[in-house]
């Protein structure tokens, strides 16, 4: 147990936040032992994975931050077509995907290079380039902080949605994810439908790309658009892409004919928040050390010494401005603490 622990390397915005109590643990037994301690019972608690989707408002967190660090993965079952993998929550997501690609297991390649840990991935049902975690997800094992018991959640009980799950809604704060199981394929179809992926591969002269080629292409596309949190503090997309009814969209389209939209379920469409923010003039904006990334308007960045409050104030200014200009409400994707 650490007292007054600096979380700078535990949040990808790189904010200097001090937690009054911090515990990094590597086993379920250690977690259960912690649950018997006064520090657990008496404090506000926060489970922190890779810290890549969190914005701390204040520079002091009065409470217990719990980091579960058990990493690694294993094959649970396999036949000639499929493999069932169990990955521990503390495994770095990007390394895990690289391992799966290296082994020739299909399913997670479009999620290459997403920062964060395996345990945090189901919380917001991470997604990129036409694939979401839920597509390969089988079940997860979690520790229930209320009962001290281990519980299994299958796909329906996780209630996955777009960048959302039960763990961001009704189950918020109650569970710590211990491990996640995925079913991957030994032969597969590559998903190259999103945006310019197939054009990009063609330009590279890769007409019949391999699993590894696709993973590398996704990494290059990400690197060209998204800032590396090791170099510039950020937490990926700050807002969700708003969903709206087709009819509301058509109204908006009359005023802004070039507005892009992607069909979603139940007569709704998804609009890129990046387009709205970009079009409202915020791309590349900077005030002090808080800014909007120059290549991707949906990414807020900390150039060094921005505070959580400054980044939040910027996010709120953007939210208000987009609402004023387009009548669209942008909901943060990042967890604000």
Which positions are annotated as active-site residues? 163, 237, 333
Selection from 195, 186, 224, 190 nearest residue 207 by Cα: 190
Least Cβ distance, residue 264 to ligand EPU (angstroms): 11
145 versus 194: smaller Cβ distance to ligand EPU: 194
Q: What number of H helices and E strands is found in the chain?
A: 9, 20
DSSP category for residue 283: T
Q: Which two tokens stand for residue 271?
A: 């609009």
Phi, psi at residue 262, to the nearest 5°? -125, 130
Torsion of CA 211, 213, 216, 217, to 10 degrees: -110
Least Cβ distance, residue 131 to ligand EPU (angstroms): 8
CB 298 within 8 A of CB 274: yes
Least Cβ distance, residue 27 to ligand EPU (angstroms): 30
In 79-170, at which residue ranges do the beta strands (DSSP E only) sit?
Answer: 82-88, 127-128, 131-132, 137-144, 150-154
The residues binding ligand EPU (CB under 6 A) are 128-129, 194-195, 225, 236-237, 240-241, 260, 272, 274-275, 278, 283, 296-298, 333
- CA 230/CA 103 separation, integer angstroms: 27
Least Cβ distance, residue 200 to ligand EPU (angstroms): 12
- CA 50/CA 124 separation, integer angstroms: 13
CB 112 within 8 A of CB 98: yes
* Order of strands, sheet of 233-237, starting from the edge strand that comes earlier in the sequence: 233-237, 299-302, 290-292, 286-287
Least Cβ distance, residue 311 to ligand EPU (angstroms): 15
- CA 113/CA 116 separation, integer angstroms: 9
194 versus 303: smaller Cβ distance to ligand EPU: 194
Give helix 93-103 / helix 211-225 axis angle, nearest 10°.
150
């Amino acid at each position: 147990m650490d007292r007054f622990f600096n979380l700078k390397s535990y949040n990808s915005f790189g904010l200097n936040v001090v937690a009054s109590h911090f515990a990094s643990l590597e086993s379920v037994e250690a977690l259960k032992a912690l649950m018997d301690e006064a520090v657990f019972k008496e404090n506000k608690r926060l489970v922190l994975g890779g810290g890549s989707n969190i914005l701390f408002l204040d520079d002091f967190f009065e409470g217990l931050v719990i980091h579960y660090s058990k990493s690694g993965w294993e094959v649970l079952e396999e036949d000639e077509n499929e493999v069932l993998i169990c990955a521990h929550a503390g495994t770095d997501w990007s390394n895990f995907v690289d391992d799966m690609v290296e082994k020739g297991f299909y399913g997670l390649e479009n999620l290459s290079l997403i920062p964060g840990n395996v345990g945090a991935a189901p919380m917001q049902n991470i997604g990129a380039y036409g694939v979401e975690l839920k597509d390969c997800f089988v079940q997860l094992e979690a520790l229930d902080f209320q009962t001290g018991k281990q519980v299994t959640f299958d796909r329906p009980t996780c209630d996955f949605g777009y960048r959302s799950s039960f763990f961001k809604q009704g189950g918020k704060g109650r569970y710590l994810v211990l491990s996640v199981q995925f079913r991957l394929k030994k032969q597969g179809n590559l998903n190259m439908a999103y945006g310019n992926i197939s054009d990009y591969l063609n330009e590279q002269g890769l007409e019949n790309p391999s699993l590894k080629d696709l993973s590398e292409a996704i990494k290059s596309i990400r690197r060209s658009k998204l800032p590396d949190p090791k170099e510039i503090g950020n937490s990926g997309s700050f807002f969700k892409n708003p969903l709206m009814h087709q009819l509301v969209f058509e109204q908006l389209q009359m005023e802004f004919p070039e507005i892009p939209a992607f069909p979603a379920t139940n007569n709704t469409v998804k609009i890129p928040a990046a387009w709205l923010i970009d079009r409202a003039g915020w791309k590349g904006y900077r005030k002090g050390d808080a800014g909007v990334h120059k290549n991707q308007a949906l990414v807020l960045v900390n150039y060094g010494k921005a505070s959580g409050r400054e980044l939040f104030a910027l996010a709120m200014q953007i939210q208000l401005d987009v609402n004023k200009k387009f009548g669209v409400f942008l909901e943060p994707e990042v967890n604000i603490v």
